[in-house]
Structures are given as C-alpha cells and as structure tokens.
C-alpha cells in the first residue's frame, strides 16, 4: 500500500511540474510562404483574407489549413496545407486562366451615331463594343436617318472580339420639293389641279418631272407656272400677283 501511495504521489507531482512548464510559441506555430504565377492573387487562409501573393504568413497554428487563391481572369486555386510547428510550409501555385464562354463585337460606322440592332435587339449606337455575346452567327443591323440600312452577319468566337466597320450609304432621294411664295401672300396653291394650301408653302415628296403650279387669290389674276422638280432638290416659285 505504501508503495502504491508513493507512486501515486509521484505521478501527481509530475503532472503539476508539466502543467507549470511554459510551452514556447515555436512549439505550436509555424510559417506559411505562398507564391503564385502570375502574382497578385488574393490569399484566403481558412476563409480569412491574408493579402496578395507573394506573401509569407507567420504565427500560423500547427495543423491543417485551407488555402484559396483568387485572381480575376483565373480559376480559383484551392489546396490544403499542413503547417508544422517551428517550420515554414510553402505553396507555389500556377493559376489557370478561365476558359471564356462568350465573345465580343466592336462596331463602328461612318458616320457614327447609327442605331445598332443585334439579332433585332437595340444595343445602343455606334461606336460600341458589345460584350458577353454567345458564340455563333449573329445578325447586326445599323440604322441612321438619311442613310440606307447596313446589315451583316458576324461570327462570334469565345474569348475573341469580332469587328464591324461600316460605311453607311446615303439614301438616294426619289422625290423633290417645291417652295412657293407669293406677293401678296395667302394665295391658294394648286399643284397639277390639286389644292395644296396657301402661300407661303413648301410642298414635299413631289415626283420628279414637270408640274403646273397655279396661284389663286380673290381680286387677283390667276398666276400659272411650270416647274421642273429634281429628286433631292427644292424648286422655287416666287410669284407676284397682278390685280384684276
């Protein structure tokens, strides 16, 4: 019994001695050195932001840790690292570029300011770069007042930018105009025997060729003119009415 008591007391005494002995930091922490190619990746250690690569992290508790590296344009790099007390663990990561799934279209026109329709959807006006476009063939239509529509098909490749440089062609006019004034004003205007209002007046969308313009006003003699209309141009009639 005495022997057992002596052994028990010795064990208890040893436990007290061990408990009272301080453990140095070097016995419970280590370091972690992290590099990446390319550099500049954000480092997450156990979901905590620890700066950007290259970086050496000190006072890391010994044991396993989760490391994630993030960089725009690259896939996340994930790994588990074991930190040994008093030592430096190293991670050398090669980041893999993200495989693009869409492409872009850069569209310019001369003159600029043309409305852009991509597959019949309005996408603004030129110049413009359209992003996140699904690969494949697409229809591009440019519209601008005074110009013929420009229509083309463009093939979009993932990760690439297709280019459209359009030269818009002015619309060829098919009609002309007649500007008519009289002294005095307020005369009724007959164009080819059709009433077109009173002077002063500008008649638009008149077919090219010769036309008869008659001006009528109470108390004045009728004034008759033959005028030739040219597409895209404005003919002029300036009439001085004579009293009856």
d(CA 75, CA 96): 6
In a domain, 192, yes or no: yes
Chosen domain end from 167, 184, 216: 167
Q: How confident is the model at residue 244 (pLDDT cuts 50, 70, 90)?
A: confident
Question: How much of the chain, in percent, has pLDDT values that exceed 70?
Answer: 89
Residue 152 is part of which domain span? 103-167
Q: CA 154 → CA 115, 150, 159, distances in Å?
A: 17, 13, 15
Average pLDDT over residues 68-96: 97
pLDDT at 11 over 60: no
In a domain, 9, yes or no: no
Supply the pLDDT for residue 25: 47
CATH number at residue 113: 2.60.40.1120
Residue 3 within a domain: no
Q: 85 and 26 in one domain?
A: yes
pLDDT reading at 21 higher than 50: no
The mean per-residue pLDDT over the stretch 104-131 comes to 98
Q: Is the pTM above the cut of 0.85?
A: no
Displacement of CA 115 from its chain's centroid (Å) = 15
Position 12 in a domain: no
pLDDT in tens, 27-40: 699 999 999 999 99
Same domain for 90 and 113, yes or no, is no
Longest CA span, the chain: 156
Closest listed residue to residue 59, CA positions, set 22, 90, 88, 21: 88
* Residue 130 belongs to a domain: yes
Kindly indicate the confidence band of residue 4, based on its pLDDT and cuts at 50, 70 and 90: low
Residue 174 scores a pLDDT above 70? yes
Quick check: is 153 in a domain? yes
Do 148 and 160 form a contact (C-beta atoms < 8 A)? no
pLDDT at site 20 = 46
Identify the residue with better confidence: 130 or 17. 130
């Amino acid at each position: 019994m005495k022997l057992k008591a002596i052994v028990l007391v010795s064990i208890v005494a040893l436990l007290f001695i061990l408990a009272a002995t301080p453990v140095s930091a070097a016995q419970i922490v280590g370091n972690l050195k992290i590099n990446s190619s390319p550099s500049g990746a954000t480092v997450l250690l156990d979901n905590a932001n620890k700066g950007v690569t290259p970086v050496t992290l000190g006072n890391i508790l010994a044991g396993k840790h989760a490391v994630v590296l993030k960089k725009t344009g690259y896939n996340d790099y994930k790994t588990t690292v074991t930190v040994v007390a008093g030592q430096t663990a190293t991670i050398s990561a090669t980041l893999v570029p993200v495989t693009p799934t869409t492409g872009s279209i850069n569209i310019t026109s001369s003159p600029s300011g043309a409305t852009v329709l991509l597959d019949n959807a309005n996408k603004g006006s030129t110049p413009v770069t359209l992003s996140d476009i699904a690969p494949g063939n697409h229809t591009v239509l440019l519209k601008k007042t005074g110009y013929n529509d420009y229509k083309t098909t463009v093939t979009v490749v993932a990760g690439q930018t297709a280019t459209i440089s359009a030269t818009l062609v002015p619309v060829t006019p098919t009609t002309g105009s007649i500007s008519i004034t009289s002294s005095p004003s307020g005369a009724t205007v007959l164009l080819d025997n059709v009433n077109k209002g009173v002077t002063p007046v500008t008649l638009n969308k008149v077919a090219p060729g010769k036309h008869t313009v008659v001006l009528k006003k109470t108390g004045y003699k009728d004034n008759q003119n033959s005028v030739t209309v040219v597409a895209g141009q404005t003919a002029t009639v300036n009439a001085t009415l004579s009293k009856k």
